[in-house]
Structure 1
Amino acid sequence: MTLIVAGKVYVDPSDRDRFIEGHRNLVEQARRHPGCIDLSISPDPTEAGRVNIFEHWESQETLDAWRAVVPPPAVSIDIEDDQVRKHEISRSGHPFG
């Protein structure tokens, strides 16, 4: 069963770009990690302090293996609100057909 971890976090708008850049190494390493289908930490285009989080993993086991070795972010910035959730996916298909 694949997993998606997705949602949004809020940081001080003046810290958002540093927050995202501070996670660059983590994103790059995750994308090379076995079992990571995709991972993105990106700025929201309409809310200044919002950061969008998206992770797609082959299984809980591959996510757990990543979490055991994940490097810390290069910066320490307080998250003001966390609305990220894990979703277990039993079936996927083309969204338009």
Structure 2
Amino acid sequence: MLIIAGHLQVGAGERATYLDLVTTATQLARRAPGCREFVQAPDPIEPDRIVIYERWESEAHLLAFRSSDPQGEPVALPDVLGADVARYEISAVGAP
């Protein structure tokens, strides 16, 4: 299991625009083989922060998605002013 988690920082007035523009990417990721979860969501407290959470069955699935070439024009996103996103390799999973 592979988890990608953290946050992005964008201009406070640009967060809604950023999230609207990545909706298609989120939909594509969720339909991709091996994707267990894919979320880019507004932080409930900080107006310039976007929370990132992805869960993949394997690195191969993640890399296959990232290298896929969805049809459509590239989207110009608002600038990302900062990021703290990390990759976590999970060796065991159990009930909480």
TM-score in same-fold range (> 0.5): yes
Aligned residue identity for 1:3: L
Q: 1:25 — aligned with what? A: 24
SS at match of 2:88: strand
| Equivalence for 1:16 | 15
Question: Are residue 84 (structure 1) and residue 85 (structure 2) matched?
Answer: yes
Contact 1:23 1:73 survives alignment (8 Å):
no
Structure 1 residues 57 and 73 mapped into 2: Cα distance closer, same or farther (>3 Å)?
farther
Identity of counterpart residues, as a percentage? 36
Distance 1:5 1:17, change over 3 A: same
Gaps of 5+ in 2: none
The structural deviation recorded for 1:93 is 1.3
Aligned-residue CA RMSD (Å) = 1.4
The answer on whether the counterparts of 1:26 and 1:73 sit within 8 Å (CA) in structure 2 is: no
Gap runs ≥5 in structure 1: none
1:56-75 matched pairs, under 5 angstroms: 56-69=55-68, 71=70, 74-75=75-76
The verdict on how the C-alpha distance between 1:91 and 1:70 changes in structure 2, with shifts beyond 3 A counting, is: farther
Are the aligned partners of 1:33 and 1:66 in contact in 2 as well (CA < 8 Å)?
yes
1:86 aligned partner, one-letter code: R
Question: TM-score, with normalisation over the residues of structure 2?
Answer: 0.92
Is 1:3–1:87's contact at 8 Å kept on the other side of the alignment?
Answer: yes
Cα 1:73–1:38 change in 2 (3 A) is farther
Matched residue count: 94
Q: What is the Cα deviation at residue 74 of structure 1?
A: 3.2
